[in-house]
Amino acid sequence: MPATERAIELALTAAQAAADKKAEDIVVLDVADRMAITDAFVVTSAPNERQVMAIVDAIEERLAQLPEKAKPVRREGERGGRWVLLDYVDIVVHVQHTEEREFYSLDRLWKDCPVIEFVDRDLPAPA
Q: Are the CB atoms for 1 and 32 separated by under 8 Å?
A: yes
Does residue 118 fall inside a structural domain? Answer: no
Q: What is the pLDDT of residues 24-65, one digit of tens each?
A: 999 999 999 998 899 999 999 999 999 999 999 999 999 999
The radius of gyration computed from the CA coordinates of the chain, to the nearest angstrom, equals 14
CATH code, 95:
3.30.460.10
Mean pLDDT throughout 61-76? 95
Does residue 123 fall inside a structural domain? Answer: no
Does residue 125 fall inside a structural domain? Answer: no
**Distance (Å, whole) CA 50 – CA 110:** 27
Domain encompassing residue 36: 5-109
pLDDT higher than threshold 70 for residue 90: yes
**Number of structural domains in the chain:** 1
Please give the model's pTM, rounded to 2 decimal places: 0.92
Does residue 114 fall inside a structural domain? Answer: no
Confidence of residue 122 (pLDDT cuts 50, 70, 90): confident
- CA distances from residue 60 to 2, 30, 72, 92, 123 in whole angstroms, order as listed: 24, 20, 8, 12, 22
Does residue 89 fall inside a structural domain? Answer: yes
How many separate helices (H) and strands (E) can be counted in the chain?
4, 5
pLDDT at 124: 66
Does residue 24 fall inside a structural domain? Answer: yes
